[in-house]
Amino acid sequence: MKLYTAQFRYSGSDRIDITARTPDKYGKLFAPPWSLVSDYKHDIIDEDEYTDRYSDVLLHAIGSNPALWVKFLELESATLVCYCRASAFCHRFVAVEFCKIMCKTKAIKHLGERMLPTWEVKK
């Protein structure tokens, strides 16, 4: 699987919204709960605590819907998107590392952050 990350405005056909309010069926595997997002945004937890708690969320999501996880892994390409800046700590990067660890039997290659065209980037 070719796995990419991008900011929310990315609109390719392999786009998977992994925000807390995602309507995307695959995105629900990766969506963090609002309580986790809020704790991080309000400096209640740091990046390490966020990563630990988010990893637990991912494990639970996969365990709750293993068939959807298998279908996700069968995708040729996926781009995980959220609202965070490309240079910021973000759950989409944690999700990529999680996928690589969980899928040792399947080649998952993170091919980096998809860059938006410069005319789409807000200054």
Reported pTM: 0.88
Please identify which residue in the block is written with the tokens 């899928």: 103
Q: With left for phi above 0 and alpha for psi between -120 and 50, is residue 112 left, alpha or beta?
A: left
How far apart CA 49 and CA 78 sit, in angstroms, is 26
- For 21-66, what is each residue's pLDDT tens digit? 999 999 999 999 999 999 999 999 999 999 999 999 999 999 999 9
Closest Cα partner for 50 from 67, 37, 69, 59?
Answer: 37
| CB contact at 8 A, 18 and 31 | yes
